[in-house]
Amino acid sequence: MTNYNEESIRSLDWKEHIRLRPGMYIGKLGDGTSPDDGIYILIKEVIDNSIDEFVMGNGRSIELTIDETTVRVRDYGRGIPLGKLEDVVSKINTGAKYDSQAFKKSVGLNGVGLKAVNALSQTFEVKAFREGMTRSARFERGELIDSTQPESTALKQGTEVVFSPDPQIFRNYRFLDEYIERMLRFYAYLNTGLTIVFNGQKFVSEHGLKDLLEDQLDGPIVHPIVHLKGEDIEIALTHSDRSQSEQYHSFVNGQHTTQGGTHQAAFREALVKTLREFYNKNFEAADIRQSVVAAISLKVIEPVFESQTKTKLGSNEMGPGLVTVRTFVVDFVKTHLDNYLHREPDTAEAILRKILRAERERKDLAGIQKLARERAKKASLHNRKLRDCRVHYTDSKHERRLDTTLFITEGDSASGSITKSRDVNTQAVFSLKGKPLNCYGLSKKVVYENEEFNLLQSALDIEDGLETLRYNNVVVATDADVDGMHIRLLLLTFFLQFFPELVKEGHLHILQTPLFRVRNRKETRYCYSEEEKRAALLALGAKSEITRFKGLGEISPDEFKHFIGPEIRLEPVLLSKDQTIEQILEFYMGKNSPERQAYIIGNLRVEKDLIEEEVG
């Protein structure tokens, strides 16, 4: 029996607590393969301070450079007061954000962000340039190593932060430019007039959220983008002519609230209420919101978020003593959207046609949907296609919610190995039966009529959008052979065809599993490529035993736990900016056989090429 006494009670200093419980400050850790992984939150925490300077009218540019593992952020704001330089980055509850006059509508409120970056970095250096003087302080894992005395400088006023995430905390991490560029584009959309330079690439926006929607749209739209701006609020919306799901991008004080919150809920309510009154008909809310693509940005005094990572707004008021967020948003939309529709009858007519079409589709699908839901409910009770986990993404109060994962596997042997190896708290397994249907060009009706798709949709709970998504990471886990690649392609087609936002928001991944096991009597290495195999042979000796894994089912559960545990390798599914989803699907899944055949032949790597590479 464990003793519980005075010796059991510990007091941690600020950096020890952050390093022991990093999830409280930056969400999940990750390795950089998801946009919400900790290394990106560290960058965001630093940039948020620079954004707040810009919002308060100080500095019109921010520079971000990343050299492998070292991040540098330089702004041209007011600069941290030199006498408080160390305190601002190393003392919890110290900062200017508590002074509502210095930062009226800022993102950072708790004086924690820079301290978390400092504590979770192997090296951290901050420099302040202010009123012709400069100072710097250097830390290692939150411990002050060196600081300078104030000295004169000719450099422009502002702040520079340089840090390297600690590999003891963030294991085998890598920065993906696609995620960083997306984050910076959003910063630019929300702060017109601001220029952000990332490794020489400029991000700037002239039309705010209208630019955001134009950048995010994939395919034709029903009507021109409606762009509405007011004091402390900006909205842009349209309806997709291709996707049937709702897509929202919501922001508070420049922070991307990926999980929505009170402002997003108020906007969805306001849209329904306004259009019902404008058309004088009590349409179903789902018909009004079907295919909507929208962005909303709100400025709130002292916002309350549901976590330090600020992904969901919890505030009910615009600020102390002000109206509620709901009232503010509903009143703005009701007035300005109604006025817009009266001024633009063509847009009003196009939206009406879209609602009526959604109504017809819903009624046509009503019977099928009811039967499909009943089948899904019965299946979840009587079969083992889904081996669920104990924590779900919708449990917003659970600190491990961002770690939830669903592995989609092929066959019983592979799903059995993963099931026996997984973390039952956060990892679930969905087992496919055979190859999925090629759904390219088919209507949403097939999702309900096809048992595999219906049960997969039900397991993810994404029928009505991502707000109810039960797993933060959706991982395709198939064999690295021809059949496995085909199944992978068919699943990607399914998600891109019917749930593209799942891919756009960075939830879909491919599980990387080793191709070879190289071992001698003392050591075992798992290799994911020919190059890694050659390196292992050099290290362990040419006489080492080599095993080639032909499928996931051949890997024992004891070995599999290494590949889906802390050392898991995930390859995110990223969309190219050069092609639309329609163009991608048409090329890979359409009827352009000669063009696709020429592409395959041109990119084919045959055994002869591999032998030449190995000899070289």
Task: Please check whether residues 449 and 536 belong to one and the same domain.
Answer: no
Which CATH number covers residue 405?
A: 3.40.50.670
Give the pLDDT score at 608.
45
Q: What is the mean pLDDT of residues 94-102?
A: 45
Starting at the earlier edge strand, list the strands of the sheet with 255-256.
226-230, 233-239, 292-298, 247-252, 255-256
Domain presence at residue 28:
yes
pLDDT band at 446 (very low <50, low <70, confident <90, very high): confident
Task: Please check whether residues 147 and 280 belong to one and the same domain.
Answer: no
Which of 500, 529, 534 shows the shortest CA–CA distance to 513? 529
Task: Please check whether residues 286 and 298 belong to one and the same domain.
Answer: yes
Domain end (from 203, 229, 263): 203
Confidence check: pLDDT of 336 > 60 = yes
> Tokens at residue 296, please?
């909303």
Task: Please check whether residues 310 and 431 belong to one and the same domain.
Answer: no
Mean pLDDT comparison of 268-282, 397-411, 553-567, highest-scoring range: 268-282
Task: Report the alpha-carbon distance of residue 548 to residue 526 in Å, rounded.
Answer: 10
> Tokens at residue 319, please?
């600020």
Give the pLDDT score at 513.
87
Task: Please check whether residues 498 and 521 belong to one and the same domain.
Answer: no
3-state secondary structure 88-137: HHHCCCCCHHHCCCCCCCCCCCCCCHHHHHHHCEEEEEEEEEECCEEEEE
Task: Please check whether residues 554 and 606 belong to one and the same domain.
Answer: no
Q: Determine the structural domain holding residue 586 and report its residue range.
A: 580-616
Percent pLDDT > 70 in the chain is 89
Domain presence at residue 334:
yes
Q: What is the mean pLDDT of residues 93-117?
A: 57
Domain end (from 203, 236, 268): 203
Q: Is residue 217 within 8 Å of residue 268, measured between CB atoms?
A: no
Which CATH number covers residue 133?
A: 3.30.565.10
* Tokens 């039900």, located at residue: 458
Q: What are phi and psi of 107, to 5 degrees?
A: -80, -50
- What's the pTM? 0.83
Q: What is the mean pLDDT of residues 97-106?
A: 45
Task: Report the alpha-carbon distance of residue 53 to residue 96 in Å, rounded.
Answer: 11
pLDDT band at 7 (very low <50, low <70, confident <90, very high): low
Domain presence at residue 368:
no
Give the pLDDT score at 368.
79
> Tokens at residue 205, please?
């926006």
Task: Please check whether residues 532 and 566 belong to one and the same domain.
Answer: no
pLDDT band at 6 (very low <50, low <70, confident <90, very high): low
Domain presence at residue 378:
no
Using DSSP's 3-state secondary structure scheme, residue 421 falls into: helix
Confidence check: pLDDT of 610 > 60 = no
Domain presence at residue 375:
no
Number of neighbours of residue 524 by Cβ within 10 angstroms: 16
* Tokens 């200017």, located at residue: 96
Domain presence at residue 185:
yes
Q: Of all helices (H) and strands (E), which one includes residue 236?
A: strand 233-239
Task: Please check whether residues 224 and 358 belong to one and the same domain.
Answer: yes
Confidence check: pLDDT of 111 > 60 = no
Domain end (from 203, 238, 265): 203
Using DSSP's 3-state secondary structure scheme, residue 191 falls into: coil
Confidence check: pLDDT of 98 > 50 = no
Task: Please check whether residues 115 and 164 belong to one and the same domain.
Answer: yes
**Structural domain count of the chain:** 5
Domain presence at residue 3:
no
Q: Of all helices (H) and strands (E), which one includes residue 474?
A: strand 473-477
Q: Is residue 481 within 8 Å of residue 552, measured between CB atoms?
A: no
Task: Please check whether residues 433 and 530 belong to one and the same domain.
Answer: no
Cβ partners under 8 Å of residue 612, min gap 6: none
Give the pLDDT score at 5.
60
Give the pLDDT score at 251.
92
250 beta partners: 296
Task: Report the alpha-carbon distance of residue 201 to residue 185 in Å, rounded.
Answer: 11
Which of 288, 313, 318 shows the shortest CA–CA distance to 300? 318
Domain presence at residue 560:
yes
Give the pLDDT score at 64.
98
Who wins on pLDDT, 11 or 216? 216
Number of neighbours of residue 558 by Cβ within 10 angstroms: 10
Task: Please check whether residues 130 and 160 belong to one and the same domain.
Answer: yes
Q: What is the mean pLDDT of residues 267-283?
A: 96
pLDDT band at 536 (very low <50, low <70, confident <90, very high): very high
Q: What is the mean pLDDT of the chain?
A: 86
3-state secondary structure 29-55: CCCCCCCCCHHHHHHHHHHHHHHHHHH
Radius of gyration for the chain, computed over Cα atoms and rounded to the nearest angstrom: 26
Task: Please check whether residues 509 and 522 belong to one and the same domain.
Answer: no
Q: What is the mean pLDDT of residues 512-526?
A: 91
226 beta partners: 237
